[in-house]
Amino acid sequence: MKVLVLGGDGFCGWPTALHLSAQNDQVLIADNMSRRRIDRELQVESLTPIEQLPVRLDAWQTLTGQTIRFVELDVAMEYERLLALIHEAQPDAVVHFAEQRAAPYSMKSAAHKRYTVDNNLRATHNVLCAIVESSLDIHLVHLGTMGVYGYQTAGLRIPEGYLPVSIEIAPGQSVQREILFPSDPGSVYHMTKTQDQLFFYFYNKNDKVRVTDLHQGVVWGTQTKETQLDERLINRFDYDGDYGTVLNRFLMQAAVGYPLTVHGSGGQTRAFIHIRDTVRCIELAIHNPPRRGERVRIFNQATETHRVRDLAQLVARLTGATVQHVPNMRIEAEENELLIHNQGLRDLGLQPIRLSDGLLEEVHAISKRYAHRCDRSKIPCLSQWRAEHAATPTSRSATCT
Ligand code: NAD
Ligand code: USQ
């Protein structure tokens, strides 16, 4: 199968590209390297030493004999080049990771909000437009987020995208519908993902574009079978206050002797998935496309849910780290329950990797190995959700604007 991976240099995209290539799919990466530029803007680096993309790709070819092609391209800004690439490569599937994905980064200032909206919405719309203009029957696989549903306690098990509703149109008379679950974004970043859903709905209805939208939870872990083959293939590990996600941050904090930073009460419940399951889910989605004319297929790409303070306790018990409750800069529910449906990907063959001491130890070991690369001043989460705390002059410009 020919697969175009947009955003294939990133945390999820890189291991996915390798995994698909290892399954003998013909992989082409397009990326504008914005994530590496944002590292420079934030003056932070991945905890793991990541090679430049051409070095990564050479190493992969040397080790496996498989070739992955790379084109540097901005999906949001270079529509004609994207279209030409699709015409030339004729992919069976496009996997779309190419968005600004950090909620705290998206809330840093007006410039960061605008960059995130401009980048993410233009990127998604350009991909859809290019697929239609190419006249090719390409399956689009998009990485969405569990955050589209919001994190208020819903009192029900969150469905995979669609909610059955009954609307009373006259006394004793009702119509049944399935609608997209009402969106409830908690950040500008999450808002872009809720808007992506409408783009998919429209282009699927109007042009019969085949779309699978994977509503992914917080990804944890670092290495996959392929990235651990050689240090030149190592995956990125974000630990800073903007891009670091909670469980990897706790494991890194334990490794460098920094108290585990629980926001507020830590009563926030979130959905999680290991990076090895991420790449497997994408493989499953690509190889099980929807039929032409089928509505947008939505899967909840998350294998388990946990409360933040429970994760902190677990990591503390394993490592002897201390836990610190710090003020929460976000506007989010202090406590929430989260029940989810996630059978769709299992039905396709996913055997979920559960959070286990062994896996936690593996990530902890990576953090310990590269602890010397940690800049402790970059650990605190400083991005403010509250408008009254206006951005400081230094955080007023986003790299890419
Ligand atoms: P990442 O920032 O590490 O990777 C994104 C990649 O896309 C980067 O290499 C970046 O340079 C590229 N990119 C961004 N805008 C682009 C553009 N306009 N043109 C070309 N390339 C562009 O992020 P990630 O963690 O790999 O996340 C990938 C996707 O998965 C995102 O859409 C994100 O919303 C989603 N997701 C991630 C997580 C997580 O925990 N990491 C969880 C749920 C969903
Ligand atoms: N949190 C802490 N301490 C920390 C960091 C985070 O308590 O040191 C808390 C946050 O306040 C939040 C929760 O942990 O309640 C999750 O935060 P996060 O930074 O791990 O994840 P989030 O901002 O939600 O974003 C990440 C990815 C994003 C993806 C999303 C999936 O960056 O791309 O869409 O997870 S989901 O959370 O399901 O929406």
Supply the CATH number for residue 187's domain.
Answer: 3.40.50.720
Expressed in angstroms and rounded, the spacing between residue 96 Cα and the centre of ligand 1 is 8
Residue 33 lies in a domain: yes
189 counts as catalytic: yes
Residue 393 lies in a domain: no
Q: How does pLDDT run across 82-136, given as a tens digit for each residue?
A: 999 999 999 999 999 999 999 999 999 999 999 999 999 999 999 999 999 999 9
| Range(s) of the domain holding residue 256 | 2-383
Hey, whose CA ends up nearest to atom 15 of ligand 2? 268
For residue 396, which amino acid is it? R
Atom number in ligand 2 closest to CA 217: 38
Of 245, 251, 374, best ligand 2 pocket probe by most atoms within 8 Å of the beta carbon:
245
Tell me which of 391 and 97 has the higher pLDDT: 97
Expressed in angstroms and rounded, the spacing between residue 246 Cα and the centre of ligand 2 is 6
**Domains in the chain, number:** 1
Residue 141 lies in a domain: yes
pLDDT attached to residue 400: 53
pLDDT attached to residue 362: 83
What's the rounded mean pLDDT across residues 175-203? 98
Hey, whose CA ends up nearest to atom 35 of ligand 1? 143
Rounded-to-integer distance, Cα 205 and Cα 210, Å = 10
CB 21 within 8 A of CB 64: yes
Rounded-to-integer distance, Cα 276 and Cα 299, Å = 17
Name the β-bridge partners of 141: 95, 212
Q: Is the pLDDT of residue 218 over 80?
A: yes
Among candidate residues 193, 224, 239, 303, the one labeled active-site is 193
Q: How does pLDDT run across 228-281, given as a tens digit for each residue?
A: 999 999 999 999 999 999 999 999 999 999 999 999 999 999 999 999 999 999
145 counts as catalytic: yes
Pocket lining: 216 vs ligand 1, CB cutoff 6 Å? yes
Hey, whose CA ends up nearest to atom 10 of ligand 1? 35
pLDDT attached to residue 399: 64
CB 304 within 8 A of CB 240: no
305 counts as catalytic: no
Rounded-to-integer distance, Cα 278 and Cα 274, Å = 6
CA-wise closest residue to 343 among 307, 306, 305, 301: 301
Residue 188 has what DSSP assignment? H
Q: DSSP assignment of 340-364, as one string? A: E--HHHHHTT--PPPP-HHHHHHHH
Rounded-to-integer distance, Cα 62 and Cα 69, Å = 14
Hey, whose CA ends up nearest to atom 19 of ligand 2? 245
Residue 390 lies in a domain: no
| Token pair of 400 as six digits | 């890419």
pTM over 0.95: yes
Q: Is the pLDDT of residue 208 over 80?
A: yes
Residue 230 lies in a domain: yes
Hey, whose CA ends up nearest to atom 22 of ligand 2? 103
Hey, whose CA ends up nearest to atom 42 of ligand 1? 218
Atom number in ligand 1 closest to CA 236: 3
Pocket lining: 15 vs ligand 1, CB cutoff 6 Å? no
User: For 111, how many CA atoms within 13 A lie in the half-sphere containing its CB?
Assistant: 12
Expressed in angstroms and rounded, the spacing between residue 193 Cα and the centre of ligand 2 is 15
Rounded-to-integer distance, Cα 149 and Cα 142, Å = 16
Pocket lining: 11 vs ligand 1, CB cutoff 6 Å? yes
Among candidate residues 116, 145, 224, 278, the one labeled active-site is 145
Hey, whose CA ends up nearest to atom 37 of ligand 2? 218
Residue 391 lies in a domain: no
Query: Would you place residue 393 in the very low, low, confident or very high pLDDT band (cuts 50, 70, 90)?
Result: very low
The pLDDT mean for the chain works out to 95
CB 221 within 8 A of CB 285: no
Pocket lining: 1 vs ligand 1, CB cutoff 6 Å? no
Residue 389 lies in a domain: no
Residue 158 lies in a domain: yes
Q: How does pLDDT run across 307-348, given as a tens digit for each residue?
A: 999 999 999 999 999 999 999 999 999 999 999 999 999 999
Rounded-to-integer distance, Cα 395 and Cα 384, Å = 11
Pocket lining: 151 vs ligand 1, CB cutoff 6 Å? no
Query: Would you place residue 359 in the very low, low, confident or very high pLDDT band (cuts 50, 70, 90)?
Result: confident
Given its phi and psi angles, is residue 33 left (phi above 0), alpha (psi -120 to 50 degrees) or beta? left
CB-defined site of ligand 2, < 6 Å = 101-103, 145-147, 217-218, 245-246, 249, 261-263, 266, 268, 270-271, 308, 328, 330, 332, 381
